[in-house]
Each structure stands twice: as structure tokens, then as C-alpha cells.
């Protein structure tokens, strides 16, 4: 009988545990669209998916450095290699890592997005490009 009570209590506690965050369906497409905009040298001031705090000369300079790593030809493949999300009282932060494969290099693009509880779509709050190539 004590085992039954312990098992029932364990199941009840497991049921009370908050669900693990899920990947926002819009996050990956927003991140890929932003990469394309950075690659093309688009004016990002009007981009609704870029957090207002990142619309400044410092970010523009950093994006210019990232743009220099991106080849002019399209990637041969694009793959979401990992992601994680964390919830707290102010919203959900999602971190994506995407591999953009080119003939001579693979770019790893890390994008952080944030969505407030009442938000419709996440906004980009962080972006980084690294290359496995010396260029």
C-alpha cells in the first residue's frame, strides 16, 4: 500500500510541473529572414522583428562585420542545428543555432529572440555569425 501512495504522489507532482517551453513556430522563419536581410545589406531600421534597442550605429557596425563573412552565392543548405527556450515572468527567450553551408565554409548563425507574454511574434534581441573558414 505505501508504494501505491508514493507512486500516486509522484504522478501528481509530475502533473504539476510546468511544461517545457516549445519552439515558437515563427522563430526559425524570422531568424532566417533576418539573416537574408543582413546578407543583402538591407536597411534594418524598419525591420519589425529587430528589437528597437538594436537599431543603433553599434549594431549596424557589427552587422557589417557579419555581412563580410557571408558569401554572395546562396547557401547549399540551411539547417537548424539546435535551439532552446526559457520562460520567465517577463516572457520567453529562444536561442537558435543554424548552419548555413556554402562551398568553402559553414556559417553558424546564432539568433536570440524574445517574446513577451502578450506579444504576437518574437523580436530579435541578439545575432551572431561565426565561420569555420578563416575568412
Domain segments of the chain: what residues? 20-131
Q: Residue 20: what pLDDT?
A: 67
Q: Residue 25: what pLDDT?
A: 87
The CATH class given to the 20-131 domain equals alpha beta
Residue partners of 49: CB distance under 8 A and separation at least 6: 30, 33, 34, 121, 122, 123, 124
Q: Residue 135: what pLDDT?
A: 44
Residues of the chain with pLDDT under 70: 1-20, 134-135
Q: Are 106 and 100 in contact (CB under 8 A)?
A: yes
Whole-angstrom distance, CA of residue 88 vs CA of residue 124: 17
Residue partners of 17: CB distance under 8 A and separation at least 6: none
pTM exceeding 0.75: yes
Q: Residue 9: what pLDDT?
A: 41
Q: Residue 93: what pLDDT?
A: 95
Amino acid at each position: 500500500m505505501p508504494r501505491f501512495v508514493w507512486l500516486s504522489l509522484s504522478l501528481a507532482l509530475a502533473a504539476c510541473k510546468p511544461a517545457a517551453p516549445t519552439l515558437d513556430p515563427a522563430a526559425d522563419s524570422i531568424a532566417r529572414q533576418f539573416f537574408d536581410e543582413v546578407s543583402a545589406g538591407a536597411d534594418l531600421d524598419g525591420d519589425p522583428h529587430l528589437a528597437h534597442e538594436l537599431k543603433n550605429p553599434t549594431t549596424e557596425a557589427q552587422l557589417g562585420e557579419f555581412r563580410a563573412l557571408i558569401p554572395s552565392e546562396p547557401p547549399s543548405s540551411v539547417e537548424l542545428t539546435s535551439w532552446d527556450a526559457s520562460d520567465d515572468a517577463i516572457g520567453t527567450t529562444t536561442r537558435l543555432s543554424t548552419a548555413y553551408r556554402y562551398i568553402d565554409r559553414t556559417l553558424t548563425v546564432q539568433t536570440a529572440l524574445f517574446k513577451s507574454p502578450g506579444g504576437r511574434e518574437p523580436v530579435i534581441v541578439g545575432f551572431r555569425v561565426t565561420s569555420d573558414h578563416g575568412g
